[in-house]
């Protein structure tokens, strides 16, 4: 504890030593304050000062702010605040530091920002206005969530409570997710917002109301209301589930100043706590699937609210988890549309660095129905047997091949193609064996198919020279750097983004190599591995033959590059060589120009002479 306090004191003292550089009344952006609260886990932080033990959903200990023998100090991790029922002190983690260290609000904020790695910036007027609107919408959403919760608990919520009971939701679950009910009324929420002084136009911007000829009216009517919270605690949006057979089944908040569809995940505010132990999150499709798993004790679950997954959601997952499970409905998992959706979601998530496994549910089940019928232990067994995303994708394509009428001879190149397209190059041989066993074909026959004919294709290699092929039009022999650069970018196309502008395609003398280079550089940013690079040339047989041959020629006289740093080092040497070539060419041009002017009795300008002398000095180094 003393070490922790010493560290905080050092941070505080360092800040106080710079107070003359800081404005006296500095207001920080609310988003930064929320980010501090989200990043600093209050239970872990307070636990460094106060020994805590679990009691129900809370943690309890002896209050650090007054003397006591019976613990009355409570920490609520899910809600991010503490409260002592002995002395009455309570608040969030910022308040805790203020009280513990007798620090001003600004000092406490800066101490925690330094600990959490949050950059603080003063709020400018424009940001202040935007914050003001956002905070007003958050307040409107908060009031609406309270109203919906009250309606669910009251007389008008009887049908909605019956629906919750049919779904198996307990009172604790309803409270945990702040579920509510929007009554079948045109102006119930309108009146509630007006009573609380909320501007109805702003509530319209928040998606709570709609504007008609007679004024504003409630957007949600006769629906179970499910709020989506930010990890910092604000209500961002709502999903309204029809109680009966109403359409649409779900009515969701559209884009507002505080919410953009595809940028948030339902229940991440709760799941991120549960994910701390093993850095694992489970992604399901819908609200109710997610709620059912939480109730079953599988609390590291979030909902994507649809199978269309975005890069922003992938980035949010990566903040809190290193390993991701995707779990969609059992019936959907076999459909073409859902397979494509899983492909998009897994690619998006894996591009952030998190490996993905696919949970396969029995046909006819969704996560909600499965866990209610079979229990949490059965669902955890499904997690244990979940397939890596690449295996799921390959299996889906294998099933299509097996369902067709192609002969083994026609299946072979298709099977080889799917391995080349889906599997990392260094794993090709492993997947050749797997696919051959699934298709019940000879593994050697599959190895000898068109794209996998040489075992040298199953390991990284250095590029080689242009093959003499009847498919390739005659072209000048490529310069050594052309072969090296094209080979490196085929092996690691991510480098094309970094070097595409620094190594100009115009420097390639060989037309075929120039075409390959231009195609890779043109697609930079979309290529993740060798298979993606090969895919660029799938319909260009002439170029494809060259690309395939690059991996089949004898490499004994070529340089081999073991890793990214070696490849980058060689590309830097190429950049330097081209720069030197440019300077030498410019030196020759200037020499010729100066000679012509002197021979004609003209003066050589100081600018021209200065450039020449600078080049001479560079070339002498």
Number of domains, the chain: 5
Question: Could you give the C-alpha distances from 392 to 285, 333, 385, in angstroms and in order?
Answer: 18, 10, 12
Q: Is 583 exposed, middle or buried (0-12, 13-18, 19+ CB in 10 A)?
A: middle
Indicate if 445 and 388 belong to the same structural domain: no
Indicate if 438 and 370 belong to the same structural domain: no
- Taking only the tens place, the pLDDT of each residue in 387-429 is 998 898 898 889 888 887 777 777 888 888 888 888 887 788 7
What CA–CA distance (Å, rounded) separates 592 from 585?
Answer: 11
User: Residue 510 domain-assigned?
Assistant: no
What CA–CA distance (Å, rounded) separates 129 from 138?
Answer: 14
Question: Could you give the C-alpha distances from 420 to 376, 395, 426, 471, in angstroms and in order?
Answer: 38, 14, 10, 22
How are beta strands 209-212 and 53-55 bridged, if at all?
unpaired
Tell me: pLDDT of 239 over 90: yes
User: Residue 202 domain-assigned?
Assistant: yes
Indicate if 386 and 454 belong to the same structural domain: no
Q: Which two tokens stand for residue 473?
A: 């039009």
Residue 537 phi/psi, 5-degree rounding, is -110, 15
Overall average pLDDT of the 425-445 stretch: 82
User: Residue 489 domain-assigned?
Assistant: no
What CA–CA distance (Å, rounded) separates 501 from 495?
Answer: 11
Overall average pLDDT of the 89-99 stretch: 89
CATH code of the domain in which 17 resides: 3.90.580.10
3-state secondary structure of 55: strand
Indicate if 104 and 146 belong to the same structural domain: no
Query: Residue 386: its pLDDT value, please?
Result: 92
Query: Residue 573: its pLDDT value, please?
Result: 86
Q: Which two tokens stand for residue 68?
A: 């006591």
Overall average pLDDT of the 58-87 stretch: 89
pLDDT band at residue 117 under the 50/70/90 scheme: confident
Range with the poorest average pLDDT among 242-256, 304-318, 372-386: 304-318
- Taking only the tens place, the pLDDT of each residue in 266-308 is 999 999 888 878 889 999 989 999 999 999 999 999 998 765 7
Range with the poorest average pLDDT among 79-83, 93-97, 295-299, 394-398: 79-83
Query: Residue 27: its pLDDT value, please?
Result: 62
Query: Residue 531: its pLDDT value, please?
Result: 67
Range with the poorest average pLDDT among 4-18, 88-102, 347-361, 520-534: 4-18
CATH code of the domain in which 343 resides: 3.40.1360.10
Tell me: pLDDT of 493 over 90: no
Tell me: pLDDT of 459 over 70: no
Contact 561, 573 (CB under 8 A): no
**Residue, of 457 and 419, whose pLDDT is higher:** 419
pLDDT band at residue 465 under the 50/70/90 scheme: very low
How are beta strands 235-242 and 223-229 bridged, if at all?
antiparallel
Tell me: pLDDT of 477 over 90: no
Query: Residue 238: its pLDDT value, please?
Result: 97
User: Residue 170 domain-assigned?
Assistant: yes
What CA–CA distance (Å, rounded) separates 471 from 438?
Answer: 35
Indicate if 290 and 231 belong to the same structural domain: no
User: Residue 534 domain-assigned?
Assistant: no
CATH code of the domain in which 233 resides: 3.90.980.10
Query: 326-335, 409-418, 464-473: which has the highest mean pLDDT?
Result: 409-418
What CA–CA distance (Å, rounded) separates 190 from 565?
Answer: 62
User: Residue 463 domain-assigned?
Assistant: no
Overall average pLDDT of the 203-232 stretch: 93
Compute the half-sphere exposure of residue 253: CA atoms within 13 Å on the CB side of its CA: 31
- Counting every residue, how long is the chain? 621
Contact 288, 237 (CB under 8 A): no
- Boundary residue ending a domain (364, 392, 420): 392
User: Residue 472 domain-assigned?
Assistant: no
Indicate if 37 and 106 belong to the same structural domain: yes
User: Residue 94 domain-assigned?
Assistant: yes
Range with the poorest average pLDDT among 82-91, 362-371, 399-408, 573-582: 399-408
Mean residue pLDDT of the chain comes to 80
Indicate if 167 and 199 belong to the same structural domain: yes
- Would you give the end-to-end CA distance of the chain in angstroms? 59
Contact partners, residue 412, CB within 8 Å, separation at least 6: 441, 445, 446, 449
3-state secondary structure of 309: coil
Overall average pLDDT of the 448-453 stretch: 49
Indicate if 375 and 421 belong to the same structural domain: no
- Boundary residue ending a domain (196, 219, 252): 252
Indicate if 41 and 95 belong to the same structural domain: yes
Range with the poorest average pLDDT among 114-118, 457-461, 492-496, 582-586: 457-461
Contact 428, 458 (CB under 8 A): yes
Tell me: pLDDT of 488 over 70: yes
Look up the domain containing 188 and give its range.
125-252
Q: State what percent of residues in the chain have pLDDT above 70.
A: 81
Largest Cα span, the chain: 105
Contact 321, 313 (CB under 8 A): no
Peptide bond connecting 508 to the previous residue in cis, omega within 30 degrees of 0: no
How are beta strands 209-212 and 215-218 bridged, if at all?
antiparallel
Overall average pLDDT of the 417-445 stretch: 83
Contact 243, 163 (CB under 8 A): yes
Query: Residue 60: its pLDDT value, please?
Result: 93
What CA–CA distance (Å, rounded) separates 462 from 56?
Answer: 61
What CA–CA distance (Å, rounded) separates 489 from 593?
Answer: 39
Indicate if 30 and 78 belong to the same structural domain: yes
Query: Residue 96: its pLDDT value, please?
Result: 92
pLDDT band at residue 6 under the 50/70/90 scheme: very low
Overall average pLDDT of the 138-143 stretch: 94
What CA–CA distance (Å, rounded) separates 534 from 523?
Answer: 12
Tell me: pLDDT of 9 over 70: no
Query: Residue 474: its pLDDT value, please?
Result: 38
Tell me: pLDDT of 70 over 80: yes
pLDDT band at residue 451 under the 50/70/90 scheme: very low
Q: Which long-range contacts (CB under 8 A, 24 or more apart) does 84-89 make?
A: 87/63, 89/63, 89/65
Residue with token string 């019928």: 373
Indicate if 102 and 64 belong to the same structural domain: yes
Tell me: pLDDT of 473 over 60: no
- Taking only the tens place, the pLDDT of each residue in 529-577 is 676 677 777 667 677 767 766 644 433 234 456 678 888 888 888 888 8
Overall average pLDDT of the 84-90 stretch: 90
Query: 142-151, 252-261, 602-611: which has the highest mean pLDDT?
Result: 142-151
Q: State what percent of residues in the chain have pLDDT above 90.
A: 30
Q: Which two tokens stand for residue 270?
A: 């709760």
């Amino acid at each position: 504890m003393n070490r922790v306090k010493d560290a905080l004191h050092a941070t505080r003292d360092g800040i106080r030593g710079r107070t003359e550089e800081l404005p006296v009344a500095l207001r920080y952006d609310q988003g930064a304050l929320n980010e501090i609260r989200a990043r600093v886990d209050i239970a872990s932080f307070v636990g460094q000062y106060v020994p805590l033990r679990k009691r129900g959903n809370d943690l309890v200990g002896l209050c650090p702010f007054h003397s006591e023998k019976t613990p009355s100090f409570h920490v609520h991790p899910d809600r991010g605040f503490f409260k002592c029922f002995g002395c009455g002190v309570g608040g969030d983690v910022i308040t805790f530091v203020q009280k513990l260290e007798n620090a001003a609000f600004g000092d406490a904020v800066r101490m925690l920002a330094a600990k959490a790695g949050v950059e603080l910036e003063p709020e400018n007027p424009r940001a202040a206005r935007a914050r003001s609107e956002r905070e007003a919408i958050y307040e409107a959403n908060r009031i609406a969530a309270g109203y919906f919760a009250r309606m669910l608990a009251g007389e008008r919520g009887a049908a909605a409570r019956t629906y919750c009971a049919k779904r198996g939701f307990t009172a604790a679950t309803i409270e945990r997710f702040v579920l509510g009910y929007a009554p079948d009324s045109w102006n119930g929420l309108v009146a509630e917002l007006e009573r609380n002084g909320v501007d109805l136009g702003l509530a319209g911007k928040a998606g709570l109301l709609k504007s008609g000829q007679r004024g504003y009216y409630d957007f949600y009517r006769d629906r179970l209301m499910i709020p989506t919270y930010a990890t910092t605690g604000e209500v961002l949006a709502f999903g309204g589930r029809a109680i009966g057979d109403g359409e649409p089944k779900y009515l969701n908040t559209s884009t507002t100043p505080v919410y953009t569809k595809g940028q948030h995940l339902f229940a991440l505010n709760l799941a991120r706590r549960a994910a701390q132990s093993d850095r694992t999150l489970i992604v399901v499709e819908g609200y109710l699937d997610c709620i059912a798993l939480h109730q079953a004790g599988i609390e590291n679950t979030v909902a994507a609210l649809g199978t269309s997954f975005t890069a922003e959601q992938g980035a949010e997952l990566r903040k809190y988890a290193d390993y991701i499970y995707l779990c969609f409905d059992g019936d959907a998992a076999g459909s073409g549309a859902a397979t494509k959706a899983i492909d998009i979601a897994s690619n998006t998530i894996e591009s952030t660095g998190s490996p993905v496994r696919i949970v396969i549910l029995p046909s006819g089940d969704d996560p909600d129905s499965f866990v209610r019928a079979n229990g949490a232990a059965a669902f955890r067994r499904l997690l244990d047997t979940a397939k890596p995303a690449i295996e799921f994708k390959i299996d889906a394509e294998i099933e299509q091949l097996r369902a067709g009428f192609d002969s083994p001879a026609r299946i072979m190149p298709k099977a080889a193609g799917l391995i080349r397209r889906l599997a990392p190059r260094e794993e090709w041989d492993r997947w050749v064996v797997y696919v051959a066993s699934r298709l019940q074909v000879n593994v050697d026959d599959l190895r000898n198919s068109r794209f996998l004919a040489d075992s040298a294709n199953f390991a990284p290699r250095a590029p080689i020279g242009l093959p003499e092929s009847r498919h390739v039009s005659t072209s000048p022999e490529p310069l050594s750097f052309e072969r090296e650069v094209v080979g490196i970018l085929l092996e690691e196309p991510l480098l094309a983004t970094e070097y595409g502008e620094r190594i100009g395609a115009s420097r390639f003398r060989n037309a075929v190599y120039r075409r390959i280079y231009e195609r890779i550089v043109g697609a930079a940013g979309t290529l993740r591995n060798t298979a993606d690079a090969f895919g660029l040339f799938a319909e260009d047989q002439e170029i494809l033959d060259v690309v395939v041959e690059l991996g089949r020629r004898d490499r004994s006289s070529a340089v081999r590059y073991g890793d990214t740093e070696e490849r980058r080092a060689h590309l830097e040497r190429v950049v330097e060589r081209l720069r030197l070539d440019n300077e030498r060419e410019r030196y020759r041009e200037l020499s010729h120009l100066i000679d012509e002017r002197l021979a004609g009795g003209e003066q050589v300008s100081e600018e021209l002479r200065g450039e020449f002398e600078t080049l001479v000095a560079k070339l002498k180094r």
